[in-house]
Structure 1
Amino acid sequence: MTLLLISVLLALTWAAITGTFSLGNLILGFVVGGASLWVIRLQVGQAQILRKLPKIISLALLFLYELILSAFKVLVLVLSPNMHKKLQPAIIAFPLRAKTDAEITLLANLITLTPGTLSVDVSPDRSSLYVHALEMPDKKKMIKDIANGFEAKIIEVFEP
């Protein structure tokens, strides 16, 4: 019963993200959500899914906030006169606290999905994630923002 409720919530979330509450889109969200839950069922028990649901929702809300904020910043940058003078591209080595493949992959994907940033590579010893940004006036601030934002939330979601 719990997995059914979570699948329904995932379907509604899917419809909200895509902006289409049609029957077909809700069914697609339900099927994809259910399949995702089935894939992770052995790694995460039902009780853990319910316990972690607020943390997962918090991570999703943070991502949506960062997505909207960075999309606006990139829009302003692209539409500004003399854009090439305002660009401050850089690649940084972000020191990873995330250790598992799932944590690192999710962090890299969230960074890449956020406009203006791109995960480039992971160091061979898995201690750093190389991130490219279109505009980076303060490297230390960017490292702090990622560490206290996406990475902290991801570690919360995956902690046992």
Structure 2
Amino acid sequence: MNALLLNILLAMVWMMAVGRFTFHQLLLGFLLGFLVVSVVEPLWGSGAYARRVFRFVRFAGFFFWELLLSSLRVAYDIVTPELHARPRIFAVPLDARTDTEVTLVANFLTLTPGTLSLDVSADRRTLYVHTMYAESREQFIAEVKRGLEARLLEVLR
């Protein structure tokens, strides 16, 4: 059975055992189920579930931090009389190979204020991105590759 599904099942069983169907009980049940699955999963010959969950939590924290910073940057540009934007379009080479990986990289970039994924090349090796606040091409590509794409691929692979 998939470790995530088992964890969710254990969380549901916990809520039924306690008799309270609240978000807090679901979260507590999920954490307890996570501990159980983390201990039992190596006995099945795998132990990747805990690492993947920690990588996902790390990615979520990174993404929300980037979301906050870019939102503040756009808001600052809106409320000040001077325009700070330097709109540009860059071709970002991708390490993502599957349709799912490419789609998620493009969507997470688009969710960040100030950036918009425009197109993907036919061979899925290049993502064309419009950005409002890029100092240089090299810096922007490095931020995408070492930041968002690397952390997302770490979660997915």
With the length of structure 1 as denominator, give the TM-score of the two structures. Answer: 0.69
* 1:74 corresponds to 2:86: no
Q: Which residue of 2 aligns with 1:103?
A: 101
Instruction: Work out the percentage of aligned pairs sharing the same amino acid.
Output: 39
CA separation of 1:6 and 1:91: change in aligned 2, threshold 3 A: farther
Which whole-Å CA distance do the structure 2 matches of 1:144 and 1:101 have between them? 22
Q: Which residue of 2 aligns with 1:158?
A: 156
Q: Which residue of 2 aligns with 1:128?
A: 126
Larger-gyration structure (1/2) = 2
Which whole-Å CA distance do the structure 2 matches of 1:158 and 1:68 have between them? 23
Which whole-Å CA distance do the structure 1 matches of 2:61 and 2:125 have between them? 27
SS of structure 2 residue aligned to 1:63: helix
* 1:63 corresponds to 2:63: yes
Give 1:134-153 correspondences, 5 Å limit: 134-153=132-151
CA separation of 1:91 and 1:4: change in aligned 2, threshold 3 A: same
Of 90, 93, 114 in structure 2, the residue corresponding to residue 92 of structure 1 is 90
Moved beyond 6 Å, runs of 4+ = none
SS of structure 1 residue aligned to 2:127: strand
SS of structure 1 residue aligned to 2:135: coil
Structure 1: gaps (5+ residues):
9-22, 31-45
**Please, what is the CA RMSD of the aligned residues?**
2.8
Which whole-Å CA distance do the structure 1 matches of 2:4 and 2:87 have between them? 44
Which whole-Å CA distance do the structure 1 matches of 2:109 and 2:129 have between them? 8
Q: What per-residue deviation string (whole Å, max 9, x for no partner) do you get for residues 51-96 of structure 1?
A: 311111111111001000100111111111132xx32101100000
Structure 2: gaps (5+ residues):
10-21, 28-45
CA separation of 1:127 and 1:72: change in aligned 2, threshold 3 A: same
Give the aligned length.
Answer: 127
Q: What per-residue deviation string (whole Å, max 9, x for no partner) do you get for residues 107-153 of structure 1?
A: 11110110111111111111100111112221211100110011111
Give 1:19-30 correspondences, 5 Å limit: 23=22, 26=23
Deviation at 1:5, TM superposition (A): 7.8
Which whole-Å CA distance do the structure 1 matches of 2:5 and 2:79 have between them? 45
Deviation at 1:7, TM superposition (A): 4.0
